Amino acid sequence: MSLEDITGVKPEDCWPLDVLVTTVETTKANASTCPTRKNLRCFYFLHGQDTSGAANTLTIKIYNSDDTVDVTIVIKYVGFDILLWSHGNYAPILRLKPGQYITWTAAVNNVQVHAMAYDL
């Protein structure tokens, strides 16, 4: 089934998010934030590669608009690992509610993240 069949979203409605994740957490100003006029921001694909060669962790946090943490996800890496995260069929793997934003932090510099998202 296509993305449009499942969500009504077309391929051209999706966009990439590329982040070179460092040991410094993404600031709110630079974070991907679900606009308040939308219902959801859905990430349906995530590719993350450790570039340090060391054992590493990637910490993903979803914050509420009042800066309280809603969700924390920690992914462990052995050096140069690649994480491919997708449920297939464009089902969201991470969802941001209106006003929520997502940040990224690595234990060791760096993790290169490439994600795909759409808004509903």
Q: Which of residues 27-86 bind another protein (CB under 8 A)?
A: 33, 35, 37
What residues are paired with 5 via a beta bridge? none
User: Sign (positive/negative) of CA torsion 53, 48, 1, 16?
Assistant: negative
Smallest distance, Å, CB 69 to another protein? 22
58 vs 74: CA distance, rounded Å: 6
| Pick 45 or 77: Cβ nearer another protein | 45
Is residue 119 involved in binding another protein (CB under 8 A)? Answer: yes
| Pick 29 or 37: Cβ nearer another protein | 37
Query: Among 20, 89, 107, 92, which Cα is nearest to 62's?
Result: 92
| Pick 45 or 118: Cβ nearer another protein | 118
| Pick 16 or 79: Cβ nearer another protein | 16
Residue from 12, 18, 66, 67 binding another protein (CB under 8 A): 12
Q: What's the count of helices (H) and strands (E) in the chain, helices before strands?
A: 1, 9
The pairing of beta strand 41-50 with beta strand 82-85: antiparallel
Q: Which residues bind another protein (CB under 8 A)?
A: 8-10, 12-13, 15, 33, 35, 37, 119
